[in-house]
Amino acid sequence: MRLMLSPEMITAILGGTGALATIGGGVKFVWAKIEARFTKIETELAECRAREKLAAQRDADNRERRAKQLTVIELLWQKVKDLDPRAPVLDRAKHLLDELKETARVERDGE
């Protein structure tokens, strides 16, 4: 059995092939746009994670610095108290030192 193709059938087949090529090109274009969007999102995510890591390190450094400052302040307060236990500034300094310690404790325990 031999298949006979009429000119109309050939035109329809070739026209369909052209339409499929056009659709394929459109799909390729859309896929390229989607791929570009995913690449941009992945890049932004990596940058965001790097910023979060840097902020966490900065917070850790700040906590360490604050702990050292509190230690130094307390040592100086104790030395002044030893030199002049009735100095009027000692009560205010002790109050401020206690506030700093409480703030540091809340920040440490809150995280």
Number of domains making up the chain: 1
Could you tell me if residue 12 is inside a domain?
A: yes
The reply to whether 101 falls in a domain is: yes
Look at residue 2 and tell me if it is in a domain.
Answer: no
Query: Is the sign of the CA dihedral 68, 71, 74, 75 positive or negative?
Result: negative
pLDDT per residue of the chain (111 residues) written in tens, 0 to 9: 566 667 777 676 766 676 667 777 777 888 899 999 999 999 999 999 999 999 999 988 988 888 888 888 888 888 888 888 888 788 888 888 888 888 888 887 875
- The verdict on residue 15 lying in a domain is yes
Query: Could you tell me the pTM of the whole model?
Result: 0.51
CA–CA dist 1, 68 (Å, integer): 96
- At 86 the three-state DSSP class reads coil
Confirm whether 1 is domain-assigned: no
Which structural domain range is residue 20 located in? 8-110
